[in-house]
Amino acid sequence: MATTTNPQPVAVLYPEIEAYNTGFLRVSDVHQLYYEESGNPKGNPVVYLHGGPGGGVSPNDRRYFDPEHYRIILLDQRGAGKSTPAASLEDNTTQHLVDDVEALRKHLNIDRWVVFGGSWGSTLALAYAQQFPDRVKAMILRGIFTVRRSELEWLYEKGGAEHIYPDAWDNYVAPIPENERNDLIGAYYKRLTGSNEDEKLACAKAWSAWEMSTSRLVLDPEVVKKVEEDIWALQFARIECHYFVNNGFMPDNHLLDNVHKIQHIPCTIIQGRYDVVCPAKTSWELHKAWPEAEYKIVQLSGHSARDLQPELVAAADKYRFAK
């Protein structure tokens, strides 16, 4: 059943905490993944899957979870955050990331865990759960993204988002010659994987600024400033574009077609009504395919988790004792 809520005036996260364990997990000859644990070492395990792909985790991501009851596990996916090599596209596909999540579970000697994912993190959470349903106790999904062509065209081609943010759109298309704007993802990919380092960085910043500019209902200049960090912009833009030019390395409707594999898993889906990055239509289609899942539309909210903090914390609280 769908419910509609209004956002709380103040979003209350759990207090800041430090990780009690950090490490690197080597998953191939190329890739080494950063992970960390915080909260209660004997608590209910929860893994946080970040967005992008390429976005990386931050200390605030620990704060959705009750530290007395959760063993909180954060992971930087291949090429993202503190994982090395930064921005690497080699051996970097959805299947690789699914295998990495499972490898981390085994490395940490966890039998089953709660899976939390937003935006691209929801994509990875769905892909992981559909492959390893017996390892998932419950799911919390935010800003649903299934990497279908229609979703990519909406935001990154002339699919509709440019009508809402025409000023930011002009900055997004500026690095691409007019005769290549019929395939913006392809044009960006050519430059983000090219040999001209100045052009690569300029395109990385333009790509990243477009998504940051559209991610919140009310523009947050501090979020947009993140694109000024060269390494982060390259990680975010290169990895995203790599996945998008390859349609997420999945058949177009794969995640919705395979919902039947996870319908028995308790799940809460949280969606901002005015999410431009991952419009509500996709979450609604997931809800229709998975009516057993709790579904919440949050009014006056965009894509960013910051717009949805009270609902995300409440959902995490709900599954503190999931078995």
Please tell me the predicted confidence (pLDDT) of residue 207.
98
CATH 3.30.1280.10 fits 2-147+249-318, yes or no: no
Share of the chain above pLDDT 70, in %: 97
Look up tokens 């040999």; give the residue.
Answer: 195
Q: Where are the beta strands (DSSP E) in the chain?
A: 2-5, 21-26, 32-39, 44-49, 70-75, 113-118, 136-142, 267-272, 294-298
* pTM reported for the whole predicted model: 0.96
Whether pLDDT at 311 is above 50: yes
Amino acid code (one letter) for 14: Y
pLDDT digits (tens, 9 = 90+) for 141-177: 999 999 999 999 999 999 999 999 999 999 999 999 9
pLDDT digits (tens, 9 = 90+) for 207-243: 999 999 999 998 878 778 889 999 999 999 999 999 9
CA pair distance 125, 74, nearest whole angstrom: 13
Residues 6+ apart with CB under 8 A from 29: none
DSSP bridge pairs for 21: 37
Mapped onto helix, strand or coil, the DSSP state of residue 160 is: coil
Under a CB-based contact definition with an 8 Å cutoff, are residues 298 and 273 in contact? Answer: yes
pLDDT digits (tens, 9 = 90+) for 32-78: 999 999 999 999 999 999 999 999 999 999 999 999 999 999 999 99
Asked which of 9-13, 28-32, 81-85, 293-297 is least confident by mean pLDDT, the reply is: 9-13
Sign of CA dihedral 18, 19, 24, 25: negative
CA pair distance 323, 316, nearest whole angstrom: 14
pLDDT digits (tens, 9 = 90+) for 10-24: 458 999 999 999 999
Exposure string (b/e) for 147-158, b if CB count within 10 Å is 16 or more?
Answer: bbeebbebbbbe
Whether pLDDT at 3 is above 80: no
pLDDT confidence band for 183 (50 / 70 / 90):
very high
Q: 68 exposed, middle or buried (CB, 10 Å; 0-12, 13-18, 19+)?
A: exposed
Whether pLDDT at 4 is above 70: no
- List where CATH 3.40.50.1820 sits in the chain: 2-147+249-318
Instruction: Provide mean pLDDT across the span 182-200.
Output: 98
Average pLDDT of the chain, as a whole number: 96
Nearest to 15 by CA among 98, 84, 72, 80: 72
Look up tokens 């490395």; give the residue.
Answer: 107
Active site residues: 119, 275, 303
